[in-house]
Amino acid sequence: MKKRFCFLLAMILCVSLLAGCSGGAGGSGELVLYTWEGMFPQEVLDGFTEETGIAVNYANFDYDETMLAKLEAAEGGDYDLVIADDYIIETVIQQGLAQKLDTGKLENWGCVNPLYQGQFFDPGDEYTVPYGAGVQTIVYDPTAVGAGIEGYGDLWDPALAGNVGLIANYRVINGMALKVLGESYNVEDTAVIRAAGEKLLELAPNVRLIKDDNLQDDLLSGEVGAAVLYTSQATVAMAANPDLEMVFPKEGIGFGIMAQFIPQNAPNPEAAYQFMDYILRPEVSAQCYEFLGYYCTNKDAEALLPESVRPYLTLPDSFSKDDMEMIGNISAQAMEEHQKVWTEFKAACE
């Protein structure tokens, strides 16, 4: 009996090995897509494979920094298409790890919203195609904390003691204090960063938690009454509870853009072009952004977004490029000061 079981087990193992082989070799090529988890709805990925016969191998990273380290180790190879944050892409380009795009190969290149182009990380739009953008939004529950939060400054209100949640991005949170002081997110002067740190310490008694993952859950479950959220989190929160209030801080809006690029030595760049063009199609794009919950960077897709989510995924018409400030790379010295301020702030929160 035991022997037969072992034989069966061995058979199963052999079969699964064979299955593994055929899976790898099948199709007319493979696209190795490298980005965060959950960036595309499965239908979109399946639709691409169905249309082109190219299998999508979806590889994940947790932080942008992990991506850059791996890309560096692979000398710009291994991956065909990467989607990451603006600031890291600037470094990727500086390190010579991205290749220039031939936009002639992208039929739908014209669909990209110019608002998100020509930014600091790729001023000539030579390397990247945007895929979603985010702003830092304050979302609060008026039944828990009353109405009237209009900007970052209002989070300092003592009435919010122990009731505020923050995302764990030090440039964004320190930047909040910088904004309250009327400074730029990208200020280099360490004395100014220090002053923002002092200001931030006054916020500490109001802070209940700092975290990056699923902060919206703590707002929805009533753990906190107000939170500074990433756009995708704000979208989820608003969809789950429309009674929440979403605020674009009056001090100014910090922007982040996610973009796609092809690594310098991508094994299958043609597949990457096909994929980029496919997701630039307005109807596919609309599907993606509805799923993703970030701002739609495809202007032809905006009209195709369902009414229920369009207000959260598109910017008002009145919005211009001058209203946004991107969080860019700063000097090592300024970053170290930010780190110090940030560590002091976290330790001061009880």
> Whole-number minimum distance, CB 219 to other proteins, in Å?
12
> Whole-number minimum distance, CB 127 to other proteins, in Å?
16
Q: How many CA atoms lie within 13 A of 52 on its CB side?
A: 22
Contact call for residue 209 and other proteins (CB under 8 A): yes
> Whole-number minimum distance, CB 65 to other proteins, in Å?
5
In the window 93-132, what residues touch other proteins (CB under 8 A)? 94-95
Q: According to CB under 8 A, which one of 207, 247, 305, 315 is a site residue for other proteins?
A: 207
Angle between helices 269-280 and 42-52 (to 10 degrees): 120
- Extract the tokens encoding 181: 């002081």
In the window 222-241, what residues touch other proteins (CB under 8 A)? 222-223
Contact call for residue 57 and other proteins (CB under 8 A): no
Give alpha helix (H) positions in the chain: 2-25, 42-52, 64-73, 86-94, 142-145, 170-180, 190-201, 215-220, 231-240, 269-280, 282-292, 310-313, 332-348
Could you give the dihedral angle defined by the CA atoms of residues 153, 159, 162 and 168, in that order, rounded to the nearest 10 degrees? -10
Q: According to CB under 8 A, which one of 23, 26, 148, 162 is a site residue for other proteins?
A: 162
Contact call for residue 68 and other proteins (CB under 8 A): yes
Stretch that binds other proteins, among 15-23, 91-99, 115-123, 231-239 (CB under 8 A): 91-99
Q: What is the DSSP letter of 101?
A: -
Run of H or E including 82? strand 81-85
> Whole-number minimum distance, CB 225 to other proteins, in Å?
11
Contact call for residue 199 and other proteins (CB under 8 A): no
- Phi-psi sector, 166: left (phi>0), alpha (psi -120 to 50), beta: beta
Contact call for residue 211 and other proteins (CB under 8 A): yes
In the window 288-327, what residues touch other proteins (CB under 8 A)? none
Q: What is the DSSP letter of 315?
A: -
Contact call for residue 63 and other proteins (CB under 8 A): yes
Identify whether the C-beta of residue 266 lies closer than 8 Å to the C-beta of residue 75.
no
> Whole-number minimum distance, CB 331 to other proteins, in Å?
7
* Residue linked to tokens 């505020």: 164
Q: According to CB under 8 A, which one of 187, 210, 276, 313 is a site residue for other proteins?
A: 210
Binding residues vs other proteins (CB under 8 A): 63, 65-66, 68, 72, 91, 94-95, 162, 168, 170, 207-211, 221-223, 329, 331-332, 335-336, 338-340, 343-344, 346-347, 349-350
